[in-house]
Structures are given as structure tokens and as C-alpha cells.
Amino acid sequence: MDFGTGVDQQAVQAAARRFLAAEITRERRRAWETTAEGHDAEFWSGVAQLGWFGYGLPREYGGEGASLLELGLLLEECGRFVAPFAIFSTIAGGLGVAALGTAAQKRDWLPLIARGDSRVALAVAEKAAAANPSAFQTTVRSRRRGFVVRGEKRYVLQGVAADAFVVAARDGRGVSALIVPAGAPGVTVVPARTFAHDRQCVLRLDDVVLPATALAGMRGAAWPRLERLRRRLAALLCAEMIGGADAVLDMTARYVSEREQFGVKIGTFQAVQQMIAGMAIELEGARHVTRQALWRLAEGLAAEREIAIAKAWTGRAYVSITLAAHQLHGGAGYVVDHDLHRYSARAKEAELRFGSPEEWLEDLAGRLRLAPDGRR
């Protein structure tokens, strides 16, 4: 066992922290609220220059080949500053192309993504389907030497700024993945309004005609790889969550240590101390089940059980920590001028994305072989 971060890992985290602390000012965040992407070009190129978009991508395609564990440590810092969710989305899109794309698609997209010049968004969930591919309404069929895709994808992260989408579509009995350029005729992007303002969209695909080269991987065989990708992204999202939860606990401990009522600091009240301690325990557990899952992924070990535990526990913990923080901040943390609501909304959205705690617990139950005939 070794719970410590290495010198290199600490350096990556410290550099990220310095950058985000300096760049994300209150004024700038306010200005970002009115933009379509949720950030500005200068910030984006700053992130790109630091190499974050290519950090976890293969070296042969312009990336740095960092492991999921290292990528997670970086994302912890993004979570700590509630950095624009576009960073996570872009990294996720890159990992999606790397996981599903053909060699040619990787050559086309990954170097651009790594440099921050292109973004690819993942489009899997639909109005009535998220984890069961046979329920997908989006379909693909052959036409001449290419394909036609039709359907509607939802909850697409950063869809408004994407240059292309990795679309999961029902293909006969299986699922195919296709890379759909945002400019292809028949593609419509409609912004969705979410309470964390993270620029999601509805992606309409009205008989979009694609060349044969749009297919990512084998026809009808994409689902196992999409599922594997979803597990990895769930673990990575946990890393973002623990960074955010850490910041919320920190700001709350500081607030109750300064705020006075009845002539004393409210942090002296036992009721307050009990809540703070509860938050700290939830976070410490989240930190280590998350890092355990990412460490196992990075080492190439089986991690399904650990990912399920990480996402179920961390999703709950981050939500519960932000809600306790609201209670302890009172009105001071309720105004939009205070950053707390940004964490709280991000926490709840993250809990829902890539499988909710209850869904992951059911996944975990399935792995424990509780029913005699393998019945779920």
C-alpha cells in the first residue's frame, strides 16, 4: 500500500492549481456565463499550451500518454476550481476517439484535439435510453458505400462547441459508433439548459449521410467498447468530484471558523463540528476508493468492482458534502456571487452522469452473484 502521491504527480497538481487559481477570477467567470462555450479563447489556449487535452492521449498521436491515474490527479484540480466543464468534456472526447476510432480517425482527430484545435463530443444517451443499447432509437443503415444515421442524442457535453460527435447508433442487433462531423448536412445542435450551465445539447441527426470512413471500429460491435469507455469516464469524473468536494469542505471549514453568532465562532458549536467531521469522512473515503479504481485501471488490473464502488460512493458523497456546506454557510453561500452553488450543481450533475449511485449499486450487486442462476 502507498497512499502517497509521487513527486512528479505533485508537480502536475501544483502547476494546475497555480494556473487555475490565477486564470479563473470572479470577473472572468461572470463574463463566461454569457458565452456559448462557457469560457474564452484565451483561457482555452492557455489550457491547450499546458498540454492537458493531450495529456492522456497516446504519444503516437501527439499526446503525452499519461495514465488514467495521472489524468485523474489533474482533473482533481479542475474540480477544485470548478473549472469549465469543457476541459473534462474535451478530454473525454479525445479518450473516446482513442478508444473507438480507426487508425485513420485517430490520425485525423487526436493531434488536433491534443493541441486544443478541435473538440469531439460523445453522443450516447437518448431521451429514453442511456445504458441499454437495444432501447436506442438512433439507427444507422447502409447506403451505397456509406451510411445514413437518423435519430436524436441528448445530454451531449459541450455539443455547441464540438467539431464532431462520436455517435452510438443501433445497427441491426448491435451498436455501431460513427464519427459525425458537426457540419454535415442534417446535423442540428440545439443547446439544452442544465442547472450547472455546462453547455450540453440535443443532437438531431436527420438522415445524415456519411462516408464509409465514418465508422469507428467494427459494425454492430461498438457496445462493449462504449461500455468500457463509460466505466473509465465514470472513474475520471470521480476524480473531478473529489477535487470539488475537497474545495467545498475547505471553504466551509474556513467559513465556520470565522463566522460569529452569539458572540462566538459558529465552528465552536458541536452541531457544526459533527457536520464538518461527517463531510471529512465522506470525502476521505471518496478520495481513496476513487484513486484505487484509477490506480487499478492504470495498472491494467480488473477494476469493475472498484469503479462501481467509486462512482456510487463519490456521487453520494459530493452531493451530500455540498448540501451540508449550504446548511453551514446559510445565506452567505446561497447568493450567486458565492461560488458554492457552482460546486453544488456540478455535484448533482456528476452524480447522474455515467450511471447514478443506485445504478452502480445494481451493477455491483450483479457482480456478487447473489442469485443462484445468475438472475439479476
Site for another protein in 124-183 (CB under 8 A): none
User: Vertex 15, ends 106 and 347: CA angle to 5°?
Assistant: 75
Query: Is 8 one of the binding residues for another protein (CB under 8 A)?
Result: no
Compare residues 47 and 307 and give the one whose CB is closer to another protein: 307
Query: Is 272 one of the binding residues for another protein (CB under 8 A)?
Result: yes
Give the C-alpha separation, 325 to 318, whole Å: 10
Give the C-alpha separation, 217 to 181, whole Å: 17
- Amino acid at the residue 23: E
- What residues contact residue 310 under an 8 Å CB cut-off, 6+ apart? 234, 235, 238, 286, 289, 290, 292, 293
Rule CB under 8 A: choose which of 21, 41, 218, 277 binds another protein.
277
Give the C-alpha separation, 213 to 108, whole Å: 11
Query: Shortest approach of another protein to residue 136 CB, angstroms?
Result: 25
Query: Is 371 one of the binding residues for another protein (CB under 8 A)?
Result: yes
Rule CB under 8 A: choose which of 204, 265, 338, 342 binds another protein.
265
Rule CB under 8 A: choose which of 47, 69, 75, 78 binds another protein.
69
Rule CB under 8 A: choose which of 68, 215, 276, 340 binds another protein.
276
Backbone angles phi, psi at 116, to 5 degrees: 85, 15
Query: Is 5 one of the binding residues for another protein (CB under 8 A)?
Result: yes
CA atoms within 13 A on the CB side of 196: 23
**CA nearest 318: which of 237, 244, 236?**
244
The angle that helices 340-352 and 304-329 make with each other, rounded to 10 degrees, is 150
Rule CB under 8 A: choose which of 6, 172, 211, 224 binds another protein.
6
Query: Is 327 one of the binding residues for another protein (CB under 8 A)?
Result: no
Compare residues 288 and 342 and give the one whose CB is closer to another protein: 288
Site for another protein in 282-301 (CB under 8 A): 284-285, 288-289, 291-292, 295-296, 301
User: SS3 for 200?
Assistant: strand
**CA nearest 255: which of 338, 197, 367?**
338
Rule CB under 8 A: choose which of 267, 315, 333, 355 binds another protein.
267
Compare residues 331 and 372 and give the one whose CB is closer to another protein: 372
- Which residues in this chain contact another protein in the complex, by CB under 8 A? 1-6, 9, 69, 249, 253, 256-257, 264-265, 267-268, 270, 272-274, 276-278, 280-281, 284-285, 288-289, 291-292, 295-296, 301, 306, 308-309, 312-313, 358, 361-362, 364-365, 368-373, 375
